[in-house]
Amino acid sequence: MSRNTRGFTRRRFLQGSAAMGVLAGLEALAPAYAWQQTGNPAAAKRAQGDVDVIDLTIQRRPMTIGRRRARPITINGSVPGPIVRLREGRTARLRVTNLLDEDTSIHWHGILLPFRMDGVPGVSFPGIARGETFTYEYELKQSGTYWYHSHSGLQEQLGHYGPLIVDPAEPEPFEHDRDYVVVLSDWTFEDPDRVFRKLKVAEGYYNYQKRTVFDFFRDVSAKGWNATLKERAMWGRMRMSSRDLLDVTGSTYTYLINGLAPESNWTGLFRPGERVRLRFINASAMSFFDVRIPGLEMTVVQADGQNVEPVPVDEFRIGVAETYDVIVEPREDRAYTVFAEAMDRSGYARGTLAPRAGMSAPVPERRPIPERGMAAMGHDMMGHGAGTMETSGGGSHAAMGHEMPGMDDADAVSHGPHDHGPGAAMVAPNPRSRLDEPGVGLESSGRRALVYGDLRALGPWPDRRAPAREVELHLTGNMERYMWSFDGKKFTEVDAPIRFRHGERLRLTMVNDTMMDHPIHLHGMWMELDNGAEYKPRKHTISVKPGEKLSVEITADAPGDWAFHCHLLYHMKAGMFRVVSVVRDSKEA
Ligand SMILES: [Cu+2]
């Protein structure tokens, strides 16, 4: 199909160019749905009985953006790849041809399938060698908005990702007149291996937003000398800045919507009064976004492809690899800006909803750079019981709690601080639930921002058993050495997988002992987030905040080996990755 699709893309591109003026070269590779103003064209699909057959070809292609040359990885000729549109209850046969000069893979993110079809080289299959075609085949047992991407090296950073939509067998519990896919991503002209090497040398390499002497004196006037000095000393001792929000920033990234840079202004058309469904997919390598559409309320109807009780919001934070479907109802005959601001405010992706092509609305101003508070260090913010801050990296074992006014050492550590070795520079002394917090920088915006605590599934799920056992896992890191791990051990340092017993119901508790948000992804099985709801929301990716402790319930119904990892690409590469092995009982046939 690729020839037809490419021709189509180019034709749409030319029309788009005429309508929108000069475009950078990257946009020449934008997929058809970035230009299509009504509906979203999908990859060509042939039905053979109950089977839908789709061909995907992976290839590097040259491009220019501004005056700069680049060679992204394209899928059927575009970045992002085409919409793979499947149907619940049918079987998908996806034939993936590798025209790169290295191995590749496609992982179908969030899809329940036999583990040999999951697409993780070294875990579920050997990968797809250059020149080869691998055929994935699986039956769709779910519906909703998902995505697909490479699980080989750092290819995802080079454009190897695309949207995956599964249409439901039964009607959805909400209605809409238009349906747009909105793929958010981060593009860099740097070689991703070079980005990773820079992070290894200096974690703060891309962080140009560190605090200045002016910020210091502002704090002094607000908090006084002593408190300011002590707080700065704590951050300094951790070799951290309270502005370390994202490792890789707008200093190297161009943020894209459907492959289009902000000035190219992806546009979705509507007629006033229509209900427009926007399927937001965060296909970034490293970027959390705060999404809003000034002038429009957004009603969240799905999270990670799963229906939820509708939640009206003004803004939501979307972690890497998460998806949210929202419905908006623009009533006025004017343009609205779709604004996706990087969490650290170092840049944004931008598009427009408009009644006619070529319109635009004001782009909001960049907000102040947020700073992490003491909660990020796992300290209770209620002013009591805020135990110690342990550092074990670099041989320093300073307990810092006694240096902090109003903090009480005696109230100690919830988990042995030195269990995790040098891979864990710190342990959150009092980790706690942060499910009702929207996240750093959104706390006092005055807008209704989505929190995980808002998500109520339209269950019930079939497995209502209480978990029979609990597994606790710490998210650990040593920023200084750019080490990221679980329980202080990089993937290369562990010799055994995490074992689930086939058919068991278990509780997985995650404690974030680091100062960063980590979007944690389990392949092959849902995680039901324990957020107090009677029907827990099912998610494939859960962002765990700094100093946070949360639990999910899992039914281990998928035999085989599954990847479990942080979805920040460079954290995964650094070692924040495990294999979960769902093992059948010997008694099972
Ligand atoms: Cu991470």
pLDDT per residue over 445-479, tens digit each?
789 999 999 999 998 888 999 999 999 999 999 87
* Of the candidate ranges 30-39, 182-191, 555-564, the one whose mean pLDDT is the lowest: 30-39
The letter for the amino acid at 90 is R
**For residue 66, how far is its CA from the centre of ligand 1 (angstroms)?**
32
**For residue 512, how far is its CA from the centre of ligand 1 (angstroms)?**
10
**For residue 517, how far is its CA from the centre of ligand 1 (angstroms)?**
7
Task: Tell me how far the alpha carbon of residue 371 is from its chain's centroid.
Answer: 21
**For residue 39, how far is its CA from the centre of ligand 1 (angstroms)?**
35
**For residue 309, how far is its CA from the centre of ligand 1 (angstroms)?**
29
Q: Is it the case that residue 30 has pLDDT exceeding 70?
A: yes
* Of the candidate ranges 151-155, 165-169, 170-174, 244-248, the one whose mean pLDDT is the lowest: 244-248
**For residue 567, how far is its CA from the centre of ligand 1 (angstroms)?**
6
What pLDDT score was predicted for residue 212?
54
pLDDT grade for 444, boundaries at 50, 70 and 90: confident
Residue 494 buriedness (CB in 10 A; 0-12 / 13-18 / 19+): middle
Closest by alpha carbon to 564, among 575, 553, 580? 580
List of residues 6+ apart from 491 with CB closer than 8 A? 485, 575, 576, 577, 578
**For residue 362, how far is its CA from the centre of ligand 1 (angstroms)?**
34
**For residue 319, how far is its CA from the centre of ligand 1 (angstroms)?**
11
* Of the candidate ranges 19-28, 66-75, 532-541, the one whose mean pLDDT is the lowest: 19-28
**For residue 425, how far is its CA from the centre of ligand 1 (angstroms)?**
14
CB atoms within 10 A of CB 587: 5
Q: Tens digit of pLDDT for each residue in 213-263? A: 556 556 666 766 666 666 666 655 555 555 668 889 888 999 999 988 898
Question: 139 pairs with which residues across the strands?
Answer: 91
**For residue 483, how far is its CA from the centre of ligand 1 (angstroms)?**
10
**For residue 133, how far is its CA from the centre of ligand 1 (angstroms)?**
32
* CA atoms of 341 and 333, how far apart (whole Å): 25
* CA atoms of 489 and 482, how far apart (whole Å): 13
What pLDDT score was predicted for residue 411?
33
**More confident of the two residues 482 and 133:** 133
Q: Is it the case that residue 381 has pLDDT exceeding 90?
A: no
* CA atoms of 485 and 494, how far apart (whole Å): 10
Longest Cα pair distance anywhere in the chain, in angstroms? 74
**Three-state SS for 459?**
coil
**For residue 37, how far is its CA from the centre of ligand 1 (angstroms)?**
36
What pLDDT score was predicted for residue 28?
59
**For residue 519, how far is its CA from the centre of ligand 1 (angstroms)?**
6
Say if CB 515 and CB 240 are below 8 A apart: yes
**For residue 587, how far is its CA from the centre of ligand 1 (angstroms)?**
38
* CA atoms of 379 and 230, how far apart (whole Å): 15
**For residue 96, how far is its CA from the centre of ligand 1 (angstroms)?**
29
* Of the candidate ranges 14-18, 51-55, 210-214, the one whose mean pLDDT is the lowest: 14-18
List of residues 6+ apart from 233 with CB closer than 8 A? 403
**For residue 243, how far is its CA from the centre of ligand 1 (angstroms)?**
16
**For residue 61, how far is its CA from the centre of ligand 1 (angstroms)?**
30
CB atoms within 10 A of CB 4: 10
C-alpha dihedral sign at 460, 462, 464, 466: negative
* CA atoms of 237 and 271, how far apart (whole Å): 56
**Three-state SS for 229?**
helix
**For residue 514, how far is its CA from the centre of ligand 1 (angstroms)?**
9
Q: Which long-range contacts (CB under 8 A, 24 or more apart) does 438-441 make?
A: 438/315, 438/317, 439/288, 439/317, 439/343, 439/517, 439/543, 439/545, 440/245, 440/343, 440/370, 440/371, 440/372, 440/373, 440/376, 440/545, 441/245, 441/290, 441/343, 441/345, 441/367, 441/369, 441/370
**For residue 543, how far is its CA from the centre of ligand 1 (angstroms)?**
9
Closest by alpha carbon to 311, among 434, 144, 457? 457
**For residue 62, how far is its CA from the centre of ligand 1 (angstroms)?**
31
**For residue 426, how far is its CA from the centre of ligand 1 (angstroms)?**
15
Say if CB 220 and CB 183 are below 8 A apart: no
Q: Which residue reads 């294999």 in tokens?
A: 579
Per-residue CA distances from 510 to 323, 364, 513, 542 (Å): 21, 36, 9, 10
Per-residue CA distances from 159 to 81, 146, 212, 367 (Å): 8, 16, 35, 28
Closest by alpha carbon to 461, among 552, 526, 543, 541? 526
Quote the radius of gyration of the chain (alpha carbons, Å).
23
**Three-state SS for 386?**
coil
What pLDDT score was predicted for residue 462?
87
Residue 409 phi/psi, 5-degree rounding, is -55, -35
Question: 352 pairs with which residues across the strands?
Answer: 267, 337
**What b/e string do you get for 301-335 counting C-beta neighbours within 10 Å, with b at 16 or more?**
bbbbbbbbeebebbbbbbbbbbbbbbbbbbeeeeb
Q: Tens digit of pLDDT for each residue in 550-575? A: 999 999 999 999 999 999 999 999 99
**For residue 269, how far is its CA from the centre of ligand 1 (angstroms)?**
36
C-alpha dihedral sign at 112, 566, 378, 449: negative
Say if CB 559 and CB 584 are below 8 A apart: yes
**For residue 510, how far is its CA from the centre of ligand 1 (angstroms)?**
13
Give the tokens for residue 220: 């002094």
**For residue 128, how far is its CA from the centre of ligand 1 (angstroms)?**
26
Kindly tell me the number of DSSP H helices and DSSP E strands found in the chain.
7, 35
* CA atoms of 29 and 25, how far apart (whole Å): 7
Residue 518 buriedness (CB in 10 A; 0-12 / 13-18 / 19+): buried
* CA atoms of 325 and 577, how far apart (whole Å): 28
**For residue 58, how far is its CA from the centre of ligand 1 (angstroms)?**
27
**For residue 397, how far is its CA from the centre of ligand 1 (angstroms)?**
24
**For residue 17, how far is its CA from the centre of ligand 1 (angstroms)?**
39
Say if CB 124 and CB 560 are below 8 A apart: yes
Closest by alpha carbon to 279, among 346, 354, 338? 338
**For residue 484, how far is its CA from the centre of ligand 1 (angstroms)?**
7
Residues in the chain: 589
pLDDT grade for 62, boundaries at 50, 70 and 90: confident
**For residue 45, how far is its CA from the centre of ligand 1 (angstroms)?**
36
**For residue 238, how far is its CA from the centre of ligand 1 (angstroms)?**
17
**For residue 153, how far is its CA from the centre of ligand 1 (angstroms)?**
16
Q: Is it the case that residue 25 has pLDDT exceeding 60?
A: no
What pLDDT score was predicted for residue 143?
98
Mean pLDDT, residues 278-287: 98
Residue 544 phi/psi, 5-degree rounding, is -105, 125
**For residue 101, how far is its CA from the centre of ligand 1 (angstroms)?**
29
**More confident of the two residues 192 and 41:** 192
**For residue 358, how far is its CA from the centre of ligand 1 (angstroms)?**
39
Say if CB 288 and CB 259 are below 8 A apart: no
Q: Which residue reads 């102040």 in tokens?
A: 368
* CA atoms of 231 and 220, how far apart (whole Å): 11
**For residue 413, how far is its CA from the centre of ligand 1 (angstroms)?**
23
**For residue 291, how far is its CA from the centre of ligand 1 (angstroms)?**
21
**For residue 398, how far is its CA from the centre of ligand 1 (angstroms)?**
25
**For residue 572, how far is its CA from the centre of ligand 1 (angstroms)?**
7
Closest by alpha carbon to 77, among 146, 166, 13? 13
**For residue 496, how far is its CA from the centre of ligand 1 (angstroms)?**
21
Mean pLDDT, residues 289-303: 98
